[in-house]
């Protein structure tokens, strides 16, 4: 049974956490502003508004005027002339502002906007990880970066290289090895790598992030456990067959690994367990493997598997086992990867994720770009770990639902055999999981990553626009804060140079994206 590694014959090598909200928890809702520089949909505090009273209105008179209309002055913001006002139970912010503005004592009313910390990992190669921008991971990290106590990604593969500095501190529990011939289990602690494949998959899901080293995993905090189902004696370091040996594994060893990790789910050491299987074989799911999967699903585990790299019209096993989330691959332009298998089953049980030139960890403490559905699958598993960290009371079915219901619809409208339920979107998924919003249309904010942008380190900054503005034609203009045009771009990427070809100076820049569907604005910092 082969694994899905780099597709060399097709692509050249290249380079919230709240189950029950406490009484003081901040609740949010969407609010649409139709005026000013911030026009568009905003995230605002529910049950709250900001009010400035007219000159000469005493605090007692102000309180009396508001209380008579059902509002309550909760406190004044010193030195600003503004007060925070509580709205009647069940009243939306939009309704509240309309009523407040009609009161004679009120000079101005505004929403109480929500602000979040700007979390951008300082990993030096994050600028080469286009997939993180494509799935809007940076926005998701504003809500959650992953917990080491709540979620673990179990990598059923060739064995993780425990010496890699991005992975060694993430390994938890006792890593295991399973004989490819008979499935016999033994401890493999610390884990060793039969070849490079598992180390690459592990980095995509959960490489240590924000540590000023290498790459960023989708879940910064998730733990890893290595379940090695390949024998080192069978494989060269690049996962090729050694003479007289097949660098492969058997379904009995995969089933044994799935069964072995079941008892660890919901434990004190690993928390929720997400299984990633970046391997496969042509044909349907066998009875034995299906039984192992079904038992794991019944125990509450969430399983992901690569759809396969043969450009076939049927997915490989175990991605076609009932209960497994099948994952196909997309490229940097959100097109289906040329090698990705398709299947009607993807319409109900599958998703896609970037899987072409995914920069990740490699054996011998190095980093490489890797292609294949092998790397789309752990990207999805990493997102599941992120979601379970944010909402630990959710079930596996809930997590899967958040991912599928928030995926970006590519290809033909609705689920299809190429993209399944869509390409994963981390930001939308985590907002859906936390109940921040269920409506993703109408966002007017464009976002640049990495931010701050260091041209010598990152080479390019990419700009993400809202779904409602996505179009085949886009124009980007970069401005200084004073409004001076710096650069006009024909794509959603900037190399940090001005129109004359010289490097732009360090500072804050504004950008405006215009497409046939509308326009959006944003800002970014450039550091030389």
> Cβ-count burial of 192 within 10 angstroms (0-12 exposed, 13-18 middle, 19+ buried)?
middle
**Residue 443: pLDDT over 70:** no
Confidence (pLDDT) at 10: 28
Confidence (pLDDT) at 448: 77
Token pair 């500095």 is at which residue? 165
Bridge partners of residue 185, in order along the sequence: 178
Q: At what angle do helices 426-433 and 396-406 cross, to 10 degrees?
A: 130
Rounded CA separation 258/249 (Å): 14
Confidence (pLDDT) at 395: 96
CA distances from 386 to 74, 116, 273, 278 (A): 35, 17, 12, 19
Residue 324 per-residue DSSP state: E
Contact 391, 168 (CB under 8 A): no
Quickly state the pLDDT bin for 439 (edges 50, 70, 90): very low
DSSP 146-179: --TTTEEEEEEES---TT-TTTGGGB-S--EEE-
Confidence (pLDDT) at 45: 82
Confidence (pLDDT) at 324: 98
In 3D space, the residue among 139, 208, 210 whose CA is nearest the CA of residue 434 turns out to be 139
Superfamily of domain covering 133-433: Peptidase S8/S53 domain (3.40.50.200)
The pair phi, psi for residue 208, each rounded to 5°, is: -55, 135
Which is the catalytic residue, given 30, 128, 147, 157? 157
Quickly state the pLDDT bin for 471 (edges 50, 70, 90): low
Question: How many degrees, rounded to 5, is the angle at CA 283 between CA 230 and CA 422?
Answer: 90
SS3 content of the chain, % helix, strand, coil (to 5): 25, 30, 50
CA distances from 455 to 449, 496, 525 (A): 12, 6, 11
More confident residue, 353 or 62: 353
State percent of the chain over pLDDT 70: 89
Contact 148, 223 (CB under 8 A): yes
Residue 278 per-residue DSSP state: -
For the chain, state the CA radius of gyration.
25
Which is the catalytic residue, given 374, 376, 389, 406? 374
150's tokens: 């709540």
The pair phi, psi for residue 226, each rounded to 5°, is: -95, 125
In SS3 terms, 18-56 reads as CCCCCCCCCCEEEEEECCCCCCEEEEEEEEEEEEEECCC
**Residue 40: pLDDT over 90:** no
64's tokens: 């009396």
Quickly state the pLDDT bin for 404 (edges 50, 70, 90): very high
More confident residue, 153 or 15: 153
Q: Is 427 left (phi over 0), alpha (psi -120 to 50) or beta?
A: alpha
- Catalytic annotation on 519? no
- Catalytic annotation on 157? yes
Domain ranges of the chain: 28-113, 133-433, 447-526
The pair phi, psi for residue 347, each rounded to 5°, is: -65, -30
Dmax (CA) for the chain in angstroms is: 92
Token pair 């925070």 is at which residue? 84
Which is the catalytic residue, given 148, 164, 197, 219? 197
- What's the CATH fold of domain 447-526? Immunoglobulin-like (2.60.40)
pLDDT in tens, 262-300: 999 999 889 999 999 999 998 899 899 999 999 999 999
Give first-to-last CA distance, the chain, whole Å.
49
> Cβ-count burial of 37 within 10 angstroms (0-12 exposed, 13-18 middle, 19+ buried)?
exposed
> pTM above 0.85?
no
In 3D space, the residue among 361, 332, 325, 362 whose CA is nearest the CA of residue 346 turns out to be 325
245's tokens: 């040996």
CATH architecture of 28-113: 2-Layer Sandwich (3.30)
191's tokens: 């884990």
> Cβ-count burial of 345 within 10 angstroms (0-12 exposed, 13-18 middle, 19+ buried)?
middle
Burial 9-18 (b: 16+ CB within 10 A, else e): eebeeeebee
User: Which secondary structure element, helix H or strand E, spans residue 396, and what is its range?
Assistant: helix 396-406
More confident residue, 34 or 6: 34
Using CA atoms of 3, 302, 348, 309 in order, give the dihedral in degrees to the nearest 10.
-10
Contact 287, 293 (CB under 8 A): no
Q: At what angle do helices 373-390 and 197-206 cross, to 10 degrees?
A: 40
């Amino acid at each position: 049974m082969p694994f899905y590694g780099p597709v060399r014959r097709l692509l050249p090598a290249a380079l919230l956490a709240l189950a029950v909200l406490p009484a003081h928890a901040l609740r949010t809702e969407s609010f649409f502003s139709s005026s000013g520089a911030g026009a568009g949909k905003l995230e605002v505090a529910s049950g709250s508004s900001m009010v400035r009273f007219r000159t000469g209105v005493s605090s007692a008179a102000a309180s009396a005027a508001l209380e008579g209309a059902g509002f309550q002055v909760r406190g004044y913001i010193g030195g600003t002339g503004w007060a925070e006002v509580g709205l009647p139970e069940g009243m939306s912010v939009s309704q509240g502002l309309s009523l407040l503005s009609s009161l004679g004592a009120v000079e101005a009313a505004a929403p109480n906007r929500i602000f979040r910390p700007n979390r951008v990992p300082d990993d030096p190669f994050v600028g080469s990880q286009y997939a993180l921008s494509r799935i809007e991971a940076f926005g998701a990290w504003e809500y959650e970066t992953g917990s080491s106590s709540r979620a673990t990604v179990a990598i059923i593969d060739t064995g993780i290289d425990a010496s890699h500095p991005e992975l060694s501190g993430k390994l938890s529990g006792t890593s295991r090895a399973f004989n490819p011939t008979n499935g016999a289990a033994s401890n493999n602690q610390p884990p060793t790598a039969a070849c490079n494949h598992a180390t690459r998959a592990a980095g995509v899901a959960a490489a240590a992030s924000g540590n000023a080293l290498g790459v960023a995993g989708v879940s910064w905090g998730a733990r890893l456990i290595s379940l090695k189902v390949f024998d080192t004696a069978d494989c060269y370091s690049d996962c090729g067959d050694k003479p007289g040996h097949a660098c492969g594994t058997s379904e009995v060893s995969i089933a044994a690994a799935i069964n072995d990790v079941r008892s660890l789910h919901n434990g004190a050491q690993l928390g929720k367990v997400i299984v990633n299987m970046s391997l496969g074989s042509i044909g349907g799911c066998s009875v034995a493997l299906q039984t192992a999967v079904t038992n794991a699903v019944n125990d509450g585990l969430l399983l992901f598997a690569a759809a396969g790299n043969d450009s076939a019209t049927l997915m490989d096993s175990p991605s076609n086992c009932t209960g497994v989330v099948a994952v196909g691959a997309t490229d940097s332009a959100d097109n289906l990867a040329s090698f990705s298998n398709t299947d009607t089953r993807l319409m109900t049980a599958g998703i896609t994720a970037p899987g072409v030139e995914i920069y990740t960890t490699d054996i011998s403490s190095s980093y490489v770009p890797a292609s294949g559905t092998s790397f789309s699958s752990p990207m999805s598993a990493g997102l599941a770990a992120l979601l379970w960290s944010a909402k630990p009371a959710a079930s596996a079915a809930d997590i899967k639902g958040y991912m599928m219901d928030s995926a970006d619809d590519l290809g033909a409208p609705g689920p299809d055999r190429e993209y399944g339920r869509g390409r994963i979107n981390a930001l939308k998924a985590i907002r859906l999981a936390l109940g921040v919003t269920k409506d993703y249309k109408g966002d007017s904010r464009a976002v640049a990553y990495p931010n701050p942008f260091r041209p010598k380190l990152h080479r390019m900054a990419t700009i993400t626009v809202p779904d409602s503005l996505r179009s085949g034609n886009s124009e980007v203009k970069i401005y200084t804060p004073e409004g001076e045009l710096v650069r006009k771009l024909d794509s959603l990427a900037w190399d940090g140079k001005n129109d004359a070809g010289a490097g732009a100076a360090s500072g804050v820049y504004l950008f405006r994206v215009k497409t046939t569907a509308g326009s959006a604005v944003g800002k970014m910092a450039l550091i030389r």
